[in-house]
Structure 1
Amino acid sequence: MINRTEAPELQELHHIDFVTPENIELENGAILHWIHEVNDDAVKIDFIFQAGSIFDKKLVAKLTGDMLFSGTKDKASSEITESIDRLGGFTNVEVTTEDVTVSVLGLKENIDELVAIVLDAIKNVHFDEKELSQKIQSKKQGMAISLQKVATQARRAFVKSLFDNTPYGKMTMLEDFEKIERTEIVNFHNNFYKNGLQKIAVVGALEQSQIDRLIVQVKGMTSEERLLNKYGFNYTADNIHIEKEGAVQTAIRIGRILFNKTHEDYIDFTILNTVLGGYFGSRLMSSIREDKGYTYGIGSGVAQMKQTGYFFISTEVGKAVKDEAIKAIQNEIELLQNKPLDDLELSLVKNYSIGQLLKNSDGPFAMMDRYLSVTKFGMGLDYYDKVISHLQNITPKRIQELAKKYLKWEELVVVSAG
């Protein structure tokens, strides 16, 4: 019998036993990844298209993704939605700069019918003029409201400063909504959805016959991979302030171009990021929120793209303490550069990070996400063994070296709006 008065013995983690998906190369060039070791009847299927916003006008890509379920010549959008709801299904469309993921969730007994409905909607979407006009006006109104927010203004100025002169720095303007033509949406759909299916990720205890039917259903969708142009991603450190009359808050974004997980310093830098602003007990939260009371929340992170990545700090503070908050952020960065962490703080960060890795790898659905996040960069699941090894072996000196190398204040872009 388990003695519940005694804590279980702690064991050091060295490896996560991931379930490796079965990979099937389709005739159309796409790859199907399948995890079938699932203990219930839940099924999730992701259709991943190379249809991100860098391949055309940002607004065209976003509108196309938003209208995938707007109806075909034979079915109105309401009919599609009702059919999915009747089967207990759920769909989601996520448009990013590089890819679009269309997700379908449902039960095993209904997934064949759900997939048929979803693929019919995607392949045969009509882009009705009236619905498109309504969507454009709705998006325009939403953007007009968003542009009044200091957080939006700071984010746009920050991204433009880092990625100016590349497609990643493209900004949609309000006047762009008046220039959109239906033919642009139709052409983008033909080029990047009908000819842009890259991957299908299936998680569910399906029968082989169900997978075979799925493969037949996507047969007419070709997989024409488009190589991304090589960009230099050069940026210039800057200090930008956008004055907004009447604003109570000031939004702050600070950061720089960095790298993605293919870089040798990526794993260790993410540990540094956790120390600085990557969890609730971070240096920035403790200083800017807890000690000084300048904000309700502040954090930092590393965003990744296929060719590069960037580091960012994000917060909103009272307008009157904008300068003090930025100076306090600078002080925390310089403290990491000048004084090594003590062993207790680093141990806390290591344990938190390993706990988050285990949490984010728990179960077949999470494992598929972890698999896709590494194969996107041509890597395998052994990458996570490297993460664990780095977490266990990183030293305060290494954290300090990385802070000195990558977080020089004079090399950062500092943006404030308010």
Structure 2
Amino acid sequence: MINRTIAPETKTVHHIDFQSPEIHTLNNKVNIYSMRKTDDETVRVDFVFDAGSLKTSKIIAQLTGELLLSGTGEKSSDEIEEAIDRLGGFTGIEVSTEKATISAIGLREHIISITKTVVDAIINVNFNPKEINQLLQSKKKKMAISLEKVSTQARRAFLSDLFKNSPYGDLTQLEDYDKIEQNDLIEFHQEKYLSGLQYIKVVGAISEEDLKELQTLGERFSKEEFTTIDYDYGYTPNKIHIEKEQAVQTAIRVGRILFNKTHTDFIKFSVVNTILGGYFGSRLMTSIREDKGYTYGIGSGVAQLKETGYFFISTEVGKEFKDLTLEAIAAEITLLQTEEVSEKELSLVKNYIIGQILEQSDGAQAMMDRFISVESYGLDFSYYDEFIKQVNAITPAEVKELANLYLNWEDFTIVSAG
């Protein structure tokens, strides 16, 4: 019988034994990354395209992605959906700033048939004007509603000001929906889907024969080298307030351009961020939610982009607490800069961070996600050993030093809406 009066033994984690994917390079230079050592009967196949909104307007990127399964010259959207449903399959479409991912999910014995249906739909989509118009009107109405929210207004103003020197700061306006034509989608589809496949991910216990079938499907696309543009990510700190008289709450965004995981300080700054606002027990949550009661939630993070990244703090508070909240945020940052964090708090945060890595690495799909998250930056699984090593080694003095280096209030863009 377990003696529950005795705490379980704790161990320091130094290494995670990741399963590396198989890598097959197709004739079109597209890589297939596959994780096949799993007992799960479900298989997921992701086709990742260089079709994010950086390559065009956000509307065109989103519309093109969402209409990929809307019908071909031979099949309607209902027929495509029925063919996939009949096999117990699912699909997913996700368009972000930097890429578009089209997913086919199903049981192992049906995944090839499901994926063939998806690939055929992507390649032969006809972008029916009626489907385009219906989606345009739907998205325009949703955006009109969203623009009334203070959280949307603050987020848009924050990103627009922070990234005013690059497409990351481009904002969609309601009137932009009235300017889209069918040919805009056709051209983007030809350039970034038919010729823009970057890689394929496969997670599931498929056979060698099925893997070869997926390779054949992947070769129906072509690949152009992923291109980046050397944007000026410099910015000028700014203070913006958007007045909304009827608002009960004020949304707040605070932050600055920073870096992604390729930077030498990223790992240790992740510890600083977690202490400040990166988990439920963080200092911002304790002070501004628990002690002062200004908000239901507040947090901070480091958003990673392909070429750069940014630090942010976000919350929504009662309108009358806006200035008090900003003062409280500044006070918590000043505390990090002037007083060393205790060994007890630092140990708690280290254990939390490493525990999150372990939790998010459980299973083949999670391991594939971990692989892609480093491979996309030219790194490999050894990054996680280095991550754990640096997290375990960081000292209170280093936390204080990094807070002084990267969390200066005068370097922040501060946006409020409400």
Which residue does 1:410 correspond to in 2? 410
Which one is further off, 69-78 or 171-180? 69-78
- The equivalent residue for 2:97 is 97
Whole-angstrom CA distance in 1 between matches of 2:70 and 2:188: 16
Q: 1:310 — aligned with what?
A: 310
Q: Deviations over 1:43-64 (max 9, x none)?
A: 1111110111011112111111
Contact in 2 for aligned 1:80/1:121 (Cα 8 Å): yes
Aligned to 2:249: 249
**1:91: how far off?**
1.4
Shift of 1:101: 1.1
In the other structure, the counterpart of 1:69 is 69
2:393 maps to a residue whose letter is N
Q: What CA distance in whole angstroms lies between the structure 1 residues aligned with 2:382 and 2:3? A: 35
Bigger CA drift: 408-417 or 21-30?
21-30
Output aligned runs, 1:315-354, within 5 Å: 315-354=315-354
For 1:105 and 1:360, how far apart are their aligned partners in 2?
A: 21
Q: Secondary structure at the match of 2:246?
A: coil
Q: Which amino acid aligns with 2:31?
A: I
CA–CA distance in 2 between the matches of 1:176 and 1:269? Answer: 39
Secondary structure in 1 aligned to 2:233? Answer: coil
Distance 1:84 1:352, change over 3 A: same
Are the counterparts in 2 of residues 50 and 196 from structure 1 also a CA contact under 8 Å?
A: yes
Q: Using the TM superposition, give the Cα deviation of residue 9 of structure 1 relative to its aligned residue in structure 2, in angstroms.
A: 2.4
1:132 corresponding residue in structure 2: 132
Work out whether 1:299 is the aligned partner of 2:291.
no
- The one-letter amino acid paired with 2:355 is G
Residue 40 of structure 1, CA deviation: 2.1
Q: How does 1:82-231 map to 2 (within 5 A)?
A: 82-231=82-231
1:378 aligns with 2:378: yes
After TM superposition, give the deviation of residue 399 of structure 1 in Å: 0.7
Q: What SS is found at the alignment partner of 2:17? A: coil
Counterpart amino acid of 2:289? R
CA distance in 2, matches of 1:71, 1:91: 14
Q: Secondary structure at the match of 2:194?
A: coil
Give the number of aligned pairs: 417
Q: Distance in 1 between matches of 2:33 and 2:42?
A: 16
For 2:278 and 2:166, the matched residues in 1 are separated by: 28
Report the Cα distance in structure 2 between the residues aligned to 1:121 and 1:373, rounded to whole angstroms: 28
- Tell me which residue corresponds to 2:35: 35
Please give the alpha-carbon distance, in whole angstroms, between the structure 2 residues aligned to 1:288 and 1:65: 40
Q: Is the 8 A contact 2:277 2:299 kept in 1?
A: yes
TM-score by length of 1: 0.98
SS at match of 2:264: coil
3-state secondary structure, aligned to 1:13: coil
Deviation at 1:342, TM superposition (A): 0.5
Does the CA-based 8 Å contact 2:165-2:234 persist in structure 1? no
Which whole-Å CA distance do the structure 2 matches of 1:388 and 1:226 have between them? 31
Amino acid at match of 1:75: K
Aligned to 1:280: 280
Shift of 1:81: 1.7
Whether 1:369 and 2:369 are equivalent positions in the alignment is yes
Kept in 1, the 8 Å contact 2:200–2:218? The answer is: no
Query: Residue 45 of structure 2 aligns to which amino acid in structure 1?
Result: I
Please say if residues 50 and 225 of structure 1, whose CA atoms lie closer than 8 Å, have aligned partners that are also in contact: no
SS in 1 for 2:142: helix
Superimposed CA distance per residue, residues 261-317 of structure 1 (whole angstroms, 9 cap, x where no aligned partner): 000000011111111111000000001100010000111111111110000001000
Pairwise CA distance, 1:100: 0.7
- Superposed CA offset, 1:93-131 (max 9, x none): 111111111122211011011101111111111110001
Q: Which runs of 4+ in 1 moved over 2 A?
A: 2-9
2:14 is aligned with what amino acid? H
Structure 1 alignment gaps of length 5 or more? none
Offset at residue 4 of structure 1 (A): 5.8
Q: Helix, strand or coil for the counterpart of 1:105?
A: strand
Q: Distance in 2 between matches of 1:82 and 1:338?
A: 62
Preserved contact between residue 285 and residue 297 of structure 2 (Cα < 8 Å): yes
2:351 aligned counterpart, secondary structure: helix
Paired letter, 2:247: A
The DSSP-based 3-state class of the residue aligned with 2:241 is: strand
In the TM superposition, residue 75 of structure 1 has moved relative to its aligned partner by 1.3
Instruction: Name the counterpart of 1:400.
Output: 400
